[in-house]
């Protein structure tokens, strides 16, 4: 179910709307922000970081977690985490807190539902909730923290437990860091520059702030939305979701569309403009 839904229903731009603000939410803990700042990939090579993340998600969501590609992608991420952990002894434990593995997977599984219901739109169906939970739980079992595999560690037992975990994780008393500000700013600027032509990049930054949420935007000090600008962003999102529901499914699977730069298949969310993908018709 996940493979068919992501492969033939989701535009690359929708995936990007999860990746950028999702990473901002994941680095609410100061240790996570410090590690991301240390690797510098998000600030010095943001396009490479975006493509690498897409490759992992395509293997897990479209190829599937039981496929060779899906399992190799999990093993590759484990190797990356271990290499970073070994090279950053001054940042101990950044890959050893189980919650830091649970939260990103819970966020990937539930974020679309949370966003759509917050806009007053229908959320995820019950069968898809079950599928997303099984997907997240299965991937969790394939990952490893610095001190060993996660296969026997706790993961929320169902969709409702995942949602509750995300709410509690977000509500913890995090403090602002310079690392979080630097990385979040770089991601916001890259998102706006990659997906929006110059006259609309301020809107692209507003969209990032909205998707990250007021609390996370304040934590990373990336600016706030006025009520008027928030209404514009909400109208854009609601219109985009309505268009996506009305249009037929893609004929080309998402991995191929990503390789083409996300410019094929007119959806009302992307088009050609100066050789870059744009979310405008």
State the SS3 of the chain: CHHHHHHHHCCHHHHHHHHHHHHHHHCCCHHHHHHHHHHCHHHHCHHHHHHHHHHHHHHHHHHCCCCHHHHHHHHHHHHHHHHHHHHCCCCCCCCCCCHHHHHHHHHHHHHHHHHHHHCCCCCCCHHHHHHHHHHHHHHHHHCEECCEECCCCCCCCCHHHHHHHHHHHHCCCCCCCHHHHHHHHHHHHHHHHHHCCHHHHHHHHHHHHHHHCHHHHHHHCCCCCCHHHHHHHHHHHHHHHHHHHHCCCCCCCHHHHHHCCCCCCCCCCCEEECCEEECCC
- Say which range, 13-22, 161-170, 230-239, has the weakest mean pLDDT: 13-22
Identify the pLDDT of residue 171. 95
Q: Which two tokens stand for residue 39?
A: 């690797």
Q: Which two tokens stand for residue 99?
A: 């919650």
Is the pLDDT reported for residue 275 higher than 50?
no
**Cα separation, 35 vs 80, whole angstroms:** 12
Is there a contact between 61 and 249 (Cβ–Cβ < 8 Å)?
Answer: no
Percentage, residues of the chain above pLDDT 70: 92
Neighbours of 178 (CB within 10 A): 12
The winner for highest mean pLDDT among 35-49, 191-205, 265-279 is 191-205
Q: What is the sign, positive or negative, of the torsion defined by CA atoms of 264, 268, 272, 277?
A: negative
Is the pLDDT reported for residue 145 higher than 80?
yes
Per-residue pLDDT reduced to its tens digit, 223-269:
999 999 999 999 999 999 999 888 888 888 888 888 776 443 333 34
**Cα separation, 58 vs 6, whole angstroms:** 9
Q: In terms of C-beta density within 10 A (0-12 exposed, 13-18 middle, 19 or more buried), how is residue 235 classed? A: exposed
88 confidence band (pLDDT: 50, 70, 90): confident
Residues with Cβ within 8 Å of residue 124, at least 6 apart in sequence: 112, 113, 116, 132
Neighbours of 127 (CB within 10 A): 9
Q: What is the pTM of this model?
A: 0.88
**Average pLDDT of span 176-181:** 96
């Amino acid at each position: 179910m996940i493979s068919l839904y992501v492969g033939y229903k989701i535009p690359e731009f929708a995936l990007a709307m999860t990746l950028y603000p999702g990473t901002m939410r994941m680095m609410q803990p100061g240790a996570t922000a410090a590690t991301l700042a240390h690797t510098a990939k998000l600030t010095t090579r943001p396009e490479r970081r975006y493509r690498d993340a897409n490759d992992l998600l395509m293997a897990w969501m479209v190829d599937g977690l039981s496929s060779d590609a899906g399992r190799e992608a999990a093993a590759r991420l484990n190797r990356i985490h271990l290499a970073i952990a070994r090279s950053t002894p001054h940042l101990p434990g950044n890959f050893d807190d189980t919650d830091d593995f649970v939260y990103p997977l819970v966020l990937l599984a539930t974020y679309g539902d949370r966003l759509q219901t917050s806009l007053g739109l229908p959320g995820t169906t019950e069968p898809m909730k079950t599928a997303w939970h099984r997907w997240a739980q299965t991937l969790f079992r394939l990952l490893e923290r610095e001190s060993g595999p996660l296969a026997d560690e706790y993961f929320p037992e169902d969709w409702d437990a995942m949602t509750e975990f995300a709410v509690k994780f977000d509500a913890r008393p995090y403090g602002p860091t310079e690392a979080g500000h630097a990385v979040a700013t770089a991601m916001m600027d890259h998102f706006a520059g990659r997906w929006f032509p110059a006259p609309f990049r301020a809107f692209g930054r507003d969209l990032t702030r909205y998707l990250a949420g007021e609390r996370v935007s304040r934590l990373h000090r990336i600016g706030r939305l006025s009520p008027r600008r928030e209404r514009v962003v909400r109208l854009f999102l609601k219109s985009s979701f309505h268009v996506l529901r009305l249009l037929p499914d893609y004929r080309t699977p998402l991995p191929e569309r990503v390789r083409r730069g996300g410019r094929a298949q007119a959806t009302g969310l992307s088009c050609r403009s100066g050789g870059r993908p744009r979310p405008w018709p």
